Amino acid sequence: MKKAAIYARVSTPDQHLTTQLLDLREMAKQRGYEVIREYTDTMSGAKSKRPGLDQLMADARRWHFDVALVAAFDRVARNVRHFLEVLDELNHLGVEFVSLRENIDTGGPLGRAMVVIVGAIAQVERQAIVERVKAGMRRARLEGRQIGRTPLRVDRHAILLDRERGMSLNHIAKAHRISKASVCRILKELRGTVSEGVVPPVWGCAHGKELTASRPAA
């Protein structure tokens, strides 16, 4: 009986791994594989360094299993280069790679050839999606529509005056209905506008902490 490892990945915590795991367990059962371990990640497939995938590859190098089962190619990697690197290493280690959605098994030469072809097609498809998104953003700009966050509209001079009067960062944030981080950013930006040699009694902040600056010695 071949020993199998299952790898499943979702991009965000609000997605669920359960469906992938159940499907892969069933496939292993049908093929007569013994599942020795399941590896999971909750992060973008664009990141090549992932705890679950890294551990799977480390165990593959120790020959802990004979087959790696995944729900789909894009669960392993979002770009062809990284995907083929993983596949190539597994191949050199003698570990078979089986993808449920693409119905690919690298146990044979046809499966290995199909992996390269399907991976390339998937990359082209993802690139097309990126281009469509970029085209939509360009169109929005030409039409004068706002892209991203709405610019913060506050009385920056009033914030500086409140700070010089000794108001705390939390009180300033509450008074102007903005976040404490925004207060810090505005105060840091306004530092450069203060005339040389004139230092307000209380400055901005660093790492969320309030800073008090003393006047330079004469």
Give Cα separations from 105 to 83, 123, 157, 166, 179 (angstroms).
Answer: 15, 20, 66, 68, 53
* Residue that wins the pLDDT comparison between 141 and 198: 141
Has residue 198 got a pLDDT over 60? Answer: no
**pLDDT tier, 202 (very low <50, low <70, confident <90, very high otherwise):** low
Q: What pTM value is reported for the model?
A: 0.54
- pLDDT at position 99: 93
The amino acid sitting at 22 is L
88-97 contacts, C-beta under 8 A, 24 or more apart: 89/57, 89/60, 90/60, 93/60, 93/61, 93/63, 94/63, 94/66, 95/60, 95/65, 95/66, 95/67, 95/68, 96/2, 96/66, 96/67, 96/68, 97/67, 97/68, 97/70
* The two structure tokens encoding residue 52: 């679950």
For 3-127, CATH number out of 3.40.50.1390, 3.90.1640.30, 3.40.50.300, 3.30.230.10 equals: 3.40.50.1390
Residue 79: exposure state from Cβ atoms within 10 A (0-12, 13-18, ≥19):
middle
Ranges of H-type helices in 72-214: 73-76, 80-92, 109-142, 156-164, 169-176, 180-191
Q: Name the range with the highest mean pLDDT among 5-9, 11-15, 74-78.
A: 5-9
CA 126 to chain centre: 16
What number is the average pLDDT over the span 14-22?
Answer: 94
- pLDDT at position 192: 58
The amino acid sitting at 59 is D
What span, in angstroms and rounded, lies between the C-alpha atoms of 72 and 127?
18
Active site residue 168: no
Residue 187: exposure state from Cβ atoms within 10 A (0-12, 13-18, ≥19):
buried
- pLDDT at position 78: 82
Question: Which candidate in 11, 48, 168, 182 is catalytic?
Answer: 11
What span, in angstroms and rounded, lies between the C-alpha atoms of 136 and 120?
25
pLDDT in tens, 130-165: 888 888 888 888 887 766 666 667 888 888 888 888
Q: How open is the CA angle 123-124-126, to the nearest 5 degrees? A: 65
175-178 contacts, C-beta under 8 A, 24 or more apart: 178/152, 178/154
Per domain, the residue ranges of the chain are 3-127, 156-210
Calculate the average pLDDT of the chain. 83
| Kind of pairing between the strands at 67-70 and 3-10 | parallel
pLDDT in tens, 96-120: 999 999 888 887 777 777 777 766 7
Task: Say which range, 150-154, 165-169, 202-206, has the weakest mean pLDDT.
Answer: 202-206
* CB-facing half-sphere around the CA of 187: CA atoms within 13 A: 29
What span, in angstroms and rounded, lies between the C-alpha atoms of 181 and 190?
14
**pLDDT tier, 72 (very low <50, low <70, confident <90, very high otherwise):** very high
